[in-house]
Amino acid sequence: MLQKFDKRNENLKIWVGDQLLNRNDAKVSVFDSVVQGGDAVWEGLRVYEEGVFLLDRHLNRLQESAKALCFESIPSNDHIKLCLKKTLEANKMSKDTHIRLTLTRGEKITSGMDPRLNQSGPTLIILPEWKPPVYDNEHGISVITSTIRRNNPSFLDSKIHHTNLLNNIQAKIQANFARVDAALMLDYFGFAAELNGTNIFMSKGDKVFTPFADACLHGITRGLIIELCEQHNISCAEKNISLTELYNADEVFCSGTMGELTPITAIDGRIIENNSGIEMSKNLVSLFEGVRKNFCVNL
Ligand SMILES: Cc1ncc(COP(=O)(O)O)c(C=O)c1O
């Protein structure tokens, strides 16, 4: 399903650096590290009526990603929260909003790879958009297995939520050609890692499984689902999951800030059949919705 242009987003005010700019003026320099080398980290945030969902967890992950990449003068969480508040207020947004929060290494004094060329601190970008969850969470999505593998820590550690997304974009291109919604990416060893933009779970009977967070992003939504399972005595284990196990799962679903929890109804054209009759994903969706407001932060 291709997202359409939402007219409500025509006159957005976007935070770039230290100011709010109109959509058409919101640009970074050609010397910015994100242009030069995709040298940036990011978070996707969702704003509900009750506030920004799991904000501190997202900001902490952003801090850790920037620290791992040795960014200098990383803005504090308090500073980012203030900029988020100003941006949401300027756009009169208090629900149904997705924010793409990016922190680049900043402008370079001349083009080049060396971070020592960055002498003016990082660039903060806050792009808020009216955007309801992107997937059809009622009917689910179909995926194919991509031939493009997810990175593992030998190449580029998935614990860094970076903007070097070309392998995921290539996987999504394969999904587009196959006319399905998303691509399942495997890890180096051939086990499932995640979809090109979301984490993956499967259930078999009353048990839930998800891949180790070695080659997938350690998703914030993924983390909450694992916690909810623990709190409600639902067995949930991280493990290596092969394609055979996914094809034979009772349910498969994906998770992420952009789409929340979404059933995966077919993988590589194979329909996922629920032989146990246990509706695990429905159960988890209702647990998720039940706690949502407890995890929202009002700025
Ligand atoms: C590759 C990838 N996997 C999974 C996710 C889901 O993570 P989260 O639940 O933190 O939104 C994202 C979101 O940015 C992502 O880019």
pLDDT tens-digit readout, 107-158 = 999 999 999 999 999 999 999 999 988 888 889 999 999 999 999 999 999 9
Predicted confidence band of residue 31 (pLDDT cuts 50, 70, 90): very high
Tens of pLDDT, residues 63-83: 999 999 999 999 999 999 999
In the chain, which ranges are continuous DSSP H helix?
A: 33-37, 55-68, 77-90, 166-177, 220-231, 243-247, 280-291
Distance 17 CA to ligand 1 centre (A): 24
What is the DSSP-derived secondary structure letter of residue 133?
-
Average pLDDT, rounded, for the chain: 96
Predicted confidence band of residue 14 (pLDDT cuts 50, 70, 90): very high
Q: Which atom of ligand 1 is nearest to the CA of 158?
A: 1
Q: Beta strand pairing status for 141-145 and 182-186?
A: parallel
pLDDT the model gives residue 132: 84
Nearest CA to ligand 1 atom 16: 197
Distance 268 CA to ligand 1 centre (A): 22
Percentage with pLDDT > 70 across the chain: 100
Residues 6+ apart with CB under 8 A from 298: 50, 51, 52
Q: Judge contact between 117 and 109, C-beta under 8 A.
A: yes
Distance 119 CA to ligand 1 centre (A): 30
Placement of tokens 């291709």 in the chain: 2
pTM of the model: 0.96
| Ligand 1 first shell, C-beta below 6 A | 44, 168, 194, 197-199, 217, 219-222, 255-257
Q: Judge contact between 32 and 156, C-beta under 8 A.
A: no
Q: Domains for the chain: give ranges and CATH numbers.
A: 12-130 (3.30.470.10), 141-293 (3.20.10.10)
Predicted confidence band of residue 36 (pLDDT cuts 50, 70, 90): very high
pLDDT the model gives residue 137: 84
Of 106, 52, 103, nearest to 81 by C-alpha is 52
Buried b (16+ CB within 10 A) or exposed e, 93-128: beebbbbbbbbbbbbbeeeeeebebbeebbbbbbbb
Nearest CA to ligand 1 atom 5: 198
Nearest CA to ligand 1 atom 7: 219
Nearest CA to ligand 1 atom 2: 197
Tens of pLDDT, residues 216-256: 999 999 999 999 999 999 999 999 999 999 999 999 999 99
Predicted confidence band of residue 1 (pLDDT cuts 50, 70, 90): confident
pLDDT the model gives residue 120: 96
Distance 219 CA to ligand 1 centre (A): 5
Helix (H, G, I), strand (E, B) or coil at 45: strand
Residue to probe by mutation, ligand 1, list 217, 220, 295, most atoms within 8 Å of CB: 217
Total count of residues recorded for the chain: 299
Nearest CA to ligand 1 atom 3: 198
Q: Which atom of ligand 1 is nearest to the CA of 61?
A: 10
